Chain A
């Protein structure tokens, strides 16, 4: 792959690509290679499978004949937008071309997930992936299988999955459909993640009308391994066995209901009436995780690949292509849960909880005995050959004979037209500075409370309480902290921090700057806990790439992220693209979600957001300018989106992070909290509530601007008594403006000369919103 956006699991791109039709329409006897050669003119349903005429013609060129039904199935899924990144690949290259020089990447572009060296012999792998469309159709199972898919990506790298996070976007919180989708999605994540035994340590939840009908469900997983445990998704060694392990293969996710209702399963058998949703079995996934880790530890795995979107088709072609080998597979050896499936359906099935391993013949017996110990089904379905061809048989007849690279690596690539829409000018000209502002103390107070009560800023306990945050016993920080922090080594305290951020409003106003602001926010969040940011993952959620305006947003976002990562010195290690998030001609706001991974040399030095003690000096770091374009205040108070987002100041972000990291390492801080949505107003309220301690602050200028501006590169800190001077010197050394605002203490949030709010009132307002909406 060209840019680290790998091609396998998880559905979330084009619905057409994710749910291809069956290629067997109209054929009764099994379509074989010999038959294909003999019947070159037989029509095939390539369009229904999402392949264009030129793409179909290219397949016949590659093969020198028409494809068999099974081959057509392989190409249709492997050349789908979802698997081939045909609209995005050209642009994603920038992540490699502009990658900052860094020694931390052990594996990056093109693997299932990037692998980062965090020191002491440990490596961490992490990735975020979309499951948007399935989660709208069937919220519970769609979200559940999203967790399952990303966990297998991490497992395929050789790592033990140790935590998950989720970035979620829904339509208006009060909309009836949101009450269907949100509880289902949260329930699905809760069900799968809790049963799998992975702590959920953070994420995001935001609402906007643009996500009505197009909710975003982006799931992130992080895994830990020793350097030497890194696994490759590559088939090598002629004669090595191809083993499929995990769940049986069923008709899940093969095609939409309309397709399934066709004659594709032969004569209208009842098995054709299955829903196209994938159904998750987290218990099987838990067994699969433990089983694979034991197989890895025993040295029994030459190569391994997870099965996600495009199932067996994807795993076999990618393993063979990566190893530059051939492979012979008996599709009739695949264990089925529906005996009516044919070879093309087996190839395309997205049945969950499956992995594919390459195993030396002499090791197969030991391999099988470990699988048996974990009650995990494992079946030899083929072997590695030296032919350079991917060959598959069905009850002895050859149904596939292709060069694997032609499906895995040499898919079509498009340079789609991208144009900045003219409407962008009017949007930018609609400056938020013209909006009416609260002028009196009483109105400022009311504005703070209404922003704090808005669904975007409201307390998220209703959601996060449904997730197990404690399992595995290494969770140091979780929601509502700025970043999740997981301990990696109990002896040394080595650990990692992870945050995801994305702001669709900012990106709508300026996709280049908005994406950099998302990166900057995640980077800042990680640093606020005291961690050193190391690497980046991303999930790029956009409308249709066939719309030049959307394509312009996409190219700007990718360029912004690549430039931002270079400036901050953190490489992109991988990610995922989700296009076609739109209903009719109305696309979602461009919503790149950026995840930043940081390292803690000792998690005991982590800094929480809460003002947990009285008598700490509150210091605002950074510069506050009147920047309200795309702000939460503008949305809550005026339903307004226009103007420019806050200025991106990556140099200042870098310096701010340096201060936060050094201050945490020296033990100077009682608390630190990044400023983002809702500005200082929301940050102070959250820090007071999280630590159950009030504060009194004096604002050195226009109170409204200080409270609600969303200027970037800022954080609020509570400095431990006695550390004030050292902290001031540290800020000076890094050139970070530091303004003393006041001190922690009491049970009231007070802005001197303006207003005061008791923490009980603050808590009631903050915590009442989501339970009020969702029960």
Chain B
């Protein structure tokens, strides 16, 4: 059975096309999902792509969390559906309280587009199973509000429960707390990642193909489920 991965398009989503391409390249079926439809089309996993949903007006991800499709997604995620939020998708998942913490303005106050090295801390989520713990991969960071913040108790809890998914390993490009680049929910099925793995799936158009591991992971995890 081929795994079907939904990619939600919100008004202002930009990397939805790229996320679908990454799913296809990994061997899955990419299913477009529309923000205005309360319908997940029976997919095995969902990706919230990068972009500027609703123009990022008010606050990044703050409006998107109220989109009709989120009314379906939130309970499904609580029930175990694998969800990956990339960049703006990560911000939406934080706003929706599916993930702890928040993303704030970069330390340098400027948008940063840079190839970054990540170290995978947690290889036990359905999105990181193909990696090894401690593995270093190169992906693309491109965001203006990518600095991860959380109170110290939350940060301690994240570390203690293995919820830190990945950290920046080649300098901290945006001032994220504990150089956190991505976190996982306590159950591990919901994952947020600030950098873009979908832009590192082919050396022709990105810094390499390391990012493909996230998409291969979910296909393997879903096929095994």
Contact = CB atoms under 8 A, between A and B. Distances in A.
B18 A471 contact: yes
B11 A468 contact: no
A195 B52 contact: yes
Contacts of A195: 12, 52, 55-56
A470 B142 contact: yes
B11 A283 contact: yes
Interface string A274-286: 0000000111101
A466 interface: yes
B214 to A, nearest CB: 15
Contacts of A409: none
Interface residues of B, number: 29
A466 B18 contact: no
A321 B54 CA distance: 37
Q: A187, A472, A475: which has the most chain B beta carbons within 10 Å?
A: A472
B198 A473 contact: yes
A487 interface: yes
A474 interface: yes
Interface string B140-165: 10101000000000000000000000
Interface in A280-296: 281-284, 286-287
A197 interface: yes
A270 interface: no
A461 to B, nearest CB: 9
Contact of B114 (A284, A465, A476, A487): A465
B17 A287 contact: no
Contacts of B56: 195, 283
B54 A283 contact: yes
B21 interface: yes
B204 interface: yes
A187 B108 CA distance: 13
Interface string B27-59: 000000000100000000000001110111100
Interface in B44-76: 50-52, 54-57
Interface string B10-27: 011011011001000000
B110 interface: yes
A460 to B, nearest CB: 13
Contact of A286 (B12, B36, B50): B12
Contacts of A473: 17-18, 21, 198-199, 205-206
Contact of A604 (B111, B196, B204): B204
A603 interface: yes
A375 B198 contact: no
Contacts of B12: 195, 283, 286-287
Given A283-B12, A375-B11, A471-B15, A476 B204 contact: yes
A475 B144 CA distance: 20
B18 A472 contact: yes
B51 A466 contact: no
18 contacts: A187-B110, A194-B52, A194-B111, A195-B52, A197-B14, A283-B11, A283-B54, A465-B110, A465-B111, A465-B113, A466-B112, A467-B111, A470-B113, A470-B142, A471-B14, A472-B17, A473-B205, A476-B204
Interface of A: 187, 190-191, 194-195, 197, 281-284, 286-287, 373-375, 464-476, 487, 603-604
Interface of B: 11-12, 14-15, 17-18, 21, 36, 50-52, 54-57, 110-114, 140, 142, 144, 196, 198-199, 204-206
